[in-house]
Chain A
Amino acid sequence: MSARDSIFARIRAARAALPAMDETERAAIEGRIALHPIGTRPAMDWPLVPRFREQCVRMSSTVDDVASMAEVPRAIARFLAATKLPMRAVAWPEIAQLDWNGTGVTVEARAARGDDLVGITGTFLAVAETGTLMLLSSPSTPAATSLLPETHIAVVPQGRIVKAMEEAWALTRSERGELPRAVNFVSGPSRTADIEGQLQLGAHGPYRVHVVVVTE
């Protein structure tokens, strides 16, 4: 008997003490998974976009606004200059193909490496409740771009801000059908309080997260 079989046998034996699982119970379980109802959650009566901004700041991200995608490169160049960061970044192709001419920023669309300092990504969705970016992995949206560099810049179209994680799942199902290899919810820079409970930003992931909201 495999370990799996013996675990199931033990679960069945333990269930013998309870009323047997009948068709209605089985249907209820399968129905729950098929319908995936939303459970109890906090009141969410705030306006989406201001809430998202406020929560980003609470999670120690910085937020900038631009009117259109075309303005993104210039806004990022300004941020890099103001923060005295290198004018060189690794980015998702959708970002690298924007017009970076004249911004002074060199942007490469490739896999991120351990020594990259700035990584720029788009976002699949953003969650207002917690100021969270939702990134889905794919060949053109690699996960490491938001993880290895010390600074992560994310471009968020305002129309892609949803209320909470549950709304994000609904859109993932309708737009993508199935989950990618990795779904990453990112809420601000990496942090730790492992030494004497004192909060430090930048443990293993980025030190800074900068969010550029595109309001068009």
Chain B
Amino acid sequence: MQLAGEKPSHIIAPAIHKSRDDVADLFVQHHKTPRKTDIGELTMEARKFLREHFLSGEMGISGGNFLIAETGSLMLVTNEGNGRMTTTLPRVHVAITGIEKVLPTLEDASCILRLLTRSATGQSISNYVTLNTGPKRPGDLDGPEEMHVIIVDAGRTGLLGTDMQEALRCIRCGACMNHCPVYQNIGGHAYGWVYPGPIGSVLTPNYIGLENAIDLPNAATLCNQCGVVCPVKIPLPDLMRKLREKQVDRGLRPWQERLGLKLWAWVAKRPGIYALVTRIAARVGRSVGGADRMIHRLPGNGWTEGRDLPAPAGKTFRELYAERKRS
């Protein structure tokens, strides 16, 4: 990802959007080695080049899956071993993680770990689970001379005590995005910030401001796949719905939408006018639809740039219903 100058598109599988050919091109360009497309060989090449960095790096920077209050330890969960490299070889180790990652005891960490690995990759455990408790001890042959833990708030306390607090339970397993039909279609980069998928749609507006992530809580069908698979039972669709309500309460929705909904409400409360308006709309819609009964362009709206809108049938539901009853 760094070679491509890109950001990760998934919190567990950061390069999921890249094909082996993409990786092959990047390696030729940056490593100046002959092109190879065998995934095993590409992995070997990554190992070789990164190992030099691990062995010569002065400072290793890691995240932290959990922090354990009982012992003051940092827990890292990886399959590759990059976490162990980063925390064993360089002279200084810096870990950066969020305040919500603190767990009371080692037993609690063991319990949550079972949830994390099963939900993230379907493994009963990841290959490496490492607990680092401070720097190198007297006589130790390896380990960093200094260990620093940076615990980040960055908006997290803003969720405490609010109706969004449940989102702080997230253990970043990625299951919600793996099961999300929207994520599957648009990919992680479309979410525009650190966390993609359903949990991103909840966290991002909370962390960077509702007004800066207007589309995220709305880019969901609220199908609740995410809520069902979430191992810590975060009610993701409920939280997205609450964020939508907040957008309306704070007047953040565009004026066209507000005006449109007001008009619709006015019409919908008057059955006679409603019937008339829908009749006209259904007929106009059909005539716009043309031979294939699809509307290819809507004025002043990007909606039809990438897809067509099926044209109305020409009669309203109420008309059809009345006809059926008669016959």
Chain A residues with CB under 8 Å of chain B are 3, 7, 10-11, 14-18, 29, 32-33, 36-42, 55, 59, 110-112, 114, 129-130, 132, 137-139, 142-144, 147, 164-166, 169, 178-198, 200, 202-206
Contact = CB atoms under 8 A, between A and B. Distances in A.
Contacts of B104: 29, 32-33, 36
Interface in B1-28: 13-16, 18-20, 23
Given A143-B88, A165-B110, A7 B153 contact: yes
Contacts of B40: 200
Contacts of A137: 137, 140, 142-143
A4 B126 CA distance: 32
Nearest to B52: A114
B111 A180 contact: no
A130 B118 CA distance: 12
Contacts of B138: 139
Contacts of A187: 125-129
Given A132-B125, A194-B14, A183 B131 contact: yes
B157 interface: yes
A55 B126 CA distance: 13
Contact of B127 (A7, A144, A186): A186
Given A7-B153, A33-B105, A192 B43 contact: yes
Contacts, number: 202
A196 B160 contact: no
B63 interface: no
Interface stretch (B78-86, B199-207, B235-243, B277-285): B78-86
B127 A191 contact: yes
A42 B117 CA distance: 14
B268 interface: no
Contacts of B46: 203
Nearest to B133: A179
B14 A41 contact: no
A202 B47 contact: yes
Contacts of A15: 160-161
17 contacts: A16-B161, A41-B111, A132-B125, A165-B106, A179-B131, A180-B137, A181-B132, A181-B134, A181-B136, A182-B133, A183-B130, A190-B128, A194-B15, A203-B46, A204-B47, A205-B127, A206-B81
A12 to B, nearest CB: 10
B107 A142 contact: no
Enumerate the 8 nearest inter-chain pairs by beta-carbon distance, A residue then B residue, closest first. A205-B81, A139-B139, A14-B160, A203-B80, A39-B111, A10-B157, A36-B105, A204-B81
A38 B110 CA distance: 9
A40 B138 CA distance: 38
Given A142-B140, A169-B107, A182-B143, A195 B127 contact: no
A143 B81 CA distance: 12
Interface stretch (B65-73, B208-216, B257-265, B314-322): B65-73
Contacts of B113: 165
B124 interface: yes
B46 to A, nearest CB: 8
Given A37-B107, A39-B108, A143-B84, A179 B73 contact: yes
Given A143-B84, A195-B39, A204-B50, A188 B127 contact: yes
A44 B77 CA distance: 23
Nearest to B84: A147
A159 B268 CA distance: 76
Contacts of A59: 125, 127
B128 A142 contact: no
A93 B177 CA distance: 47
B39 A198 contact: yes
Nearest to B15: A194
Given A33-B70, A129-B124, A181 B135 contact: yes
Interface centre among A17, A185, A197, by most B CB within 10 Å? Answer: A185
Nearest to B43: A200
A190 B81 CA distance: 6
A194 to B, nearest CB: 5
A125 to B, nearest CB: 13
Interface string B89-115: 100000000010000111110110110
A169 B106 CA distance: 7
A27 B260 CA distance: 56
B84 A181 contact: no
A11 B51 CA distance: 41
Given A190-B80, A204-B50, A204-B85, A14 B157 contact: yes
A18 to B, nearest CB: 6
A18 B43 CA distance: 51
B55 interface: yes
B54 interface: yes
A204 B19 CA distance: 21
Contacts of B142: 111-112, 137, 142-144
